[in-house]
Amino acid sequence: MTEEPKSANPLLLEMRRIDKSFPGVHALKNVSMKLHRGEVLGLVGENGAGKSTLIKVLGGAHRPDAGEVLIEGRDICIPSPNAAQQAGISIIYQEFNLIPDLTVRENIFLGREKTRMGFVKAAREHRATLQLFERIGIVRRQQE
């Protein structure tokens, strides 16, 4: 086994030897990947290559038949999308508009609404959405 070069950025996510089969289809066979903090990783391949299936395993929509997922070196089990969110994993699927009739803010917080006494804290969610957009470079903070 060859040793991987040391990265200046620590390993954030590792998926090892992931297998996933559906009736009549072996979608993932011994798939591994690593993601270091600060990296951007693109999954590229033909239709049917298993890209979406791998991401659905990471996001808890599918359970792998074999393999392991590690976050910052810790082996984690992701039995559901909620468990993935609790582990700090958020998936943006290629169907970009989850619910087209909702605002961007509402889609971001869908199923994780900030509430008080049953009422959605829209202003708080709005601020958090702007902070997220600033963090990923979609908008810049206006000078006050």
Domain residue spans of the chain: 9-94, 96-144
- State the average pLDDT for the chain: 85
Three-state DSSP state, 106: helix
The owner of tokens 């299936």 is 53
Taking residues 17-44, what's their average pLDDT? 93
Residue 6 has pLDDT above 60, yes or no: no
- Whether residue 84 contacts residue 60, with contact meaning beta carbons closer than 8 Å, is answered with yes
Summarize pLDDT for 39-72 with one digit per residue, the tens: 888 889 998 899 999 999 999 999 999 999 999 9
9-94: CATH class? alpha beta
Q: How far apart are CA 94 and CA 43, in angstroms?
A: 12
Work out whether strand 11-22 and strand 66-71 pair parallel, antiparallel, or are unpaired: antiparallel
Long-range contacts of 46-53 (CB under 8 A, 24+ apart): 50/20, 52/93, 52/94, 53/20, 53/27, 53/28
8-state DSSP, 113: -
* Longest CA pairwise span in the chain (Å): 60
Its pTM stands at 0.68
> What beta strand segments (E) does 1-144 contain?
11-22, 25-36, 66-71, 74-76, 115-116, 119-120
